[in-house]
Amino acid sequence: MVAVMNPDYENYFKAGPVERKIKRIYRSWEKFINSFEIEPYVIRPLLANSWHRCLRMKVDPYAPLGELRLLSSQQLEKRIKRRKKLIDAAIPFMSQLYSFVKGTDSLVCLADDQGMILDVLRDPVIQHRTKHLCHDLGSHWGEAIAGTNSIGTALFEKKPVQITASEHYCKVMHDFTTSAAPIFSPEQELLGVLCIVGLYHNVHPHTLGMVVAAVKAIENHLISQKTSYELLIAYNKVTAAIETMNEGLIAIEANQRITQLNSVGAKILQVDRKECIGGHASVIFGKEFPLLDVITTGREYLDREFYLETPLGGTRFTSTAKPIKDAFGNITGMIATLKEIDTVHKLVHKMVGAQATMVFDDIIGNDPQLHALIKRAKRVARSCSTILLLGESGTGKEIFAQAVHNASGRSRGPFIVINCGAIPRDLVESELFGFEDGAFTGAARGGRPGKFELASGGTIFLDEIGDMPLDIQTSLLRVLQERQVTRIGGQKAIQINTRVIASTNKNLAEEVDKGNFRLDLYYRLNVITFNLPGLRERSKDIPYLVQYFVEKISRRLGQAAPTITPEFYNCLSGYSWPGNVRELENVIEQALHLVETNILVPEHLPSRIYNPNLMEAGQLEKTDKLKNAEAALIKNTLDSCHWNISRAAAILGISRNTLYRKIAKFSLTPENSREKETVERRKHYDG
């Protein structure tokens, strides 16, 4: 018997391995569509899972796919705008990929993360052959619409997928192979899918590999864009931070090219910032530019002062500089901060308190002579003329100088005080005019500015000018005439803008006659002179000053201001006050430490001001009256408190024990018997 072969099996064995595989998959597809059964030895799990999803989503396997939910023009524009970065990054690689498959009946398309086509590259031939499929912009190729296909399935699986012929769920796709790979952002966000669609018999075995390679290139490009963007943002942040600095900043590479210079630094160095960046430091600032030493020697600087000659003149600044080194210790450049010398001086003034705090309203008194001086000083303060203050010690010359400074246009500048009689003779010149590095043995490294430099823009107060050594007077005269100083050991003159207020308790005219003071310096200082009166010359101001000092010192001691008796005032007014206002303040402070009953009486004064042994009979009588007044005050306070010892002591500002002693001293007793009994019992309880 001769066996007759079924024609389908005969064609099956005549076909090649690819055709046989496709036909076998097709039969499995038919079986699934008709009976929902999967042949696992034919259909791989990825496809089986996708087919089941399509079945659950009720996708029609015989759908024509000619219109796949096209978006409106507005919706498409919104989608394209949302993924503009992806499209811009993908277009060059899509074009390159299309050039590889052009002429093989294939198209290249880009879809977003929901399967919407955003861009497509194809020629008229492939467009005609796929006219029954919709690959237009805005068409939807998700599994829920187009069934199993490389775009929708790659989006679901989030990995590269190639689907051939009957592996597609919809029959209209059985003539095609689709190869797709998902595209992820640098943050691993799913952005979309890149896909190649072609007739299955023309698809190259490495088509999916080309798609994966193109996607990798797109992702690398996105990473590069992100990195460039982040670097730009970081650079802009650093630049903005540098520009907000109060200090100047300059960065120079090993080849002397300037890579960074902020506006403050350009101002300090007196150059144009834009012209400097990218230029060579030795060309712009000269080969002797001091900061270049950091690159050549690797030596750091810390707040070192420099002077630089520029076309606009000279500039003086301080700098902290450090070399920049690579992993092997090689110097690749340097970075330095710059500070204007005036800024440094202001910082020093702030730290050491070189600021004037007193104003004319702080000068206490109603003396007509004093008021006339203040009125004249307010007019003079507006000028820059040198002022000479004459007066005994303690008359308030420094307070007067501070008031002049604060009433002038220099009030925001420093107020530097130097006592010419308190500085050792061999240090006066260095204190006034400063010194350079190595000027003398023991000189501070890097040099130091003098008081005239520190006071530039403000006022220098030369107290006790009459005690200045003669040889220093010559240098001071030159500074006053030329308005510039030269540091000890230095060669360059430094311009200053400093007002001079000098003071002395000596008669400078007599000192000139004795040969102790230069005549020319005397005339230079004696431009505007104020003679401050001693306290004995304005004795009517003593009560005002006493009240002011009592309140001021009491606040400092944390106690209530005591009552001042007339006898206390009388004793003070009758004293000669050789130490003037300063002596008065010290006397008041001493008295406040001695007071117990919150009442200031003559007994609280020093013996040089009040001495009971030397008092006349009239003075003793006054003392008795004072004691009577004190006893009456205590008695009235106790009566008003119904002899409540604690309350009365609090009102009088004394302790209970002190109050008991005063009661015993003045033999005070309550009139009410109940109050008397209460006092005795309380006294026994207090011990």
In 3D space, the residue among 162, 168, 69, 149 whose CA is nearest the CA of residue 116 turns out to be 69
Closest CA to 177 of 207, 155, 144, 147: 207
Residue 681, pLDDT score: 60
Q: CA–CA separation, 449 vs 303, rounded Å? A: 13
Alpha-carbon span 434 to 423, nearest angstrom = 14
Distance of CA 516 to the CA centre of its chain: 53
CA distance 577 to 582: 9
Note the pLDDT of residue 161: 95
Encode 632-663: b = buried (16+ Cβ within 10 Å), e = exposed: ebbbebbeebebbbeebbeebbbeeeebbebb
Assigned token pair, 527? 């431009």
pLDDT recorded at residue 55:
93
Domains of the chain from N-terminus onward: 35-226 (3.30.450.40), 248-342 (3.30.450.20), 353-533 (3.40.50.300), 564-686 (no CATH)
Q: Which residues pair with 313 in a beta bridge?
A: 310
Work out whether the CA dihedral 155, 159, 160, 165 comes out positive or negative.
negative
Interatomic CA distance for residues 91 and 119, integer angstroms: 8
Q: Residue 546 has which token pair?
A: 């006493």
CB 178 within 8 A of CB 196: yes
Q: Are 459 and 405 in contact (CB under 8 A)?
A: yes
* Distance from the first to the final alpha carbon of the chain: 145
CA gap 459, 468 in Å, rounded? 19
Which is nearest to 196 in space by CA: 215, 182, 179, 181?
179
Amino acid identity at 314? G
Tokens of 34: 């008709």
Three-state SS for 152-208 is HHHHHHCCCEEEEHHHCCCHHHCCEEEEEEEEECCCCCEEEEEEEEEEHHHCCCCHH
- The DSSP secondary structure of 90-106, one letter per residue, reads HHHHHHHHHHHHTTSSE
Residues 492 and 307: their CA atoms lie apart, in Å, by: 9
Reduce the DSSP state of residue 306 to 3 states and report it.
strand
Phi and psi dihedrals of 110, rounded to 5?
Answer: -120, 130
Number of Cβ atoms within 10 Å of the Cβ of 600: 24
Q: Would you mind telling me the total number of residues written for the chain in this entry?
A: 687
In three-state secondary structure terms, 396 is coil
Residue pair 141/197 in contact (Cβ under 8 Å)? The answer is no
Strands 387-390 and 528-531: parallel
Match 């003034």 to its residue by tokens. 349
Q: What is the DSSP string of 6-67?
A: -HHHHHHHHS-HHHHHHHHHHHHHHHHHHH----TTTS-HHHHHHHHHHHHTT--TT---S-
C-beta atoms surrounding 597 within 10 Å: 17
Confirm if 449 and 488 have CB atoms less than 8 A apart: no
Determine the pLDDT at residue 49.
95
pLDDT at 162: 95
Q: What is the pLDDT of residue 442?
A: 53
Q: What is the CA radius of gyration of the chain?
A: 49
Q: Encoding tokens for residue 184?
A: 């992820």
> What is d(CA 660, CA 656) in angstroms, rounded to the nearest whole number?
6
How would you write 563-611 as a 3-class SS string? EECHHHHHHHHCCCCCCHHHHHHHHHHHHHHHCCCCEECHHHCCCCCCC
3-state class (DSSP) for residue 413: coil
Q: Select from 282, 295, 280, 291 the least CA-distant residue to 332.
A: 295
Q: Give CA–CA dist 408/396, Å, rounded.
A: 19
**Within a 10 A sphere around the Cβ of 335, how many other Cβ atoms?**
17
Do β-strands 331-340 and 248-253 pair in parallel, antiparallel, or remain unpaired?
antiparallel
Judge contact between 166 and 29, C-beta under 8 A. Answer: yes
Note the pLDDT of residue 617: 46
Determine the angle formed by the axes of helices 84-101 and 73-82, rounding to 10 degrees: 90
> Which residue type does 135 have?
H
Counting DSSP H helices and E strands in the chain, the numbers are 28, 21
Under DSSP, the state recorded for 503 is E
Q: 530 φ, ψ to 5°? A: -125, 125
Average pLDDT of adjacent 10-residue blocks, the chain of 687 residues: 39 60 91 92 93 93 79 86 92 91 87 92 79 81 92 95 93 91 94 92 82 94 88 80 82 90 87 87 84 86 77 76 88 88 55 68 86 90 90 88 89 85 75 72 64 83 88 85 82 82 90 89 89 88 88 88 87 85 89 85 85 57 67 84 83 78 83 62 55
Contacts of 87 (CB under 8 A, 6+ apart): 80, 110, 118, 119
pTM over 0.85: no
C-alpha distances out from residue 268 to 246, 428, 551, Å: 11, 31, 49
Q: What was the pLDDT predicted at 289?
A: 84
* Residue 207 burial (CB count, 10 A): 21
Distances (CA, A) of 383 to 204, 376, 379, 477: 95, 12, 8, 20
* pLDDT at site 185: 93
The rounded distance, in Å, linking the Cα atoms of 610 and 100 is 116
b/e code 25-45 from CB counts within 10 Å (16+ = b): bbebbeebeeeeebeeebbee
Q: How many CA atoms lie within 13 A of 118 on its CB side?
A: 28
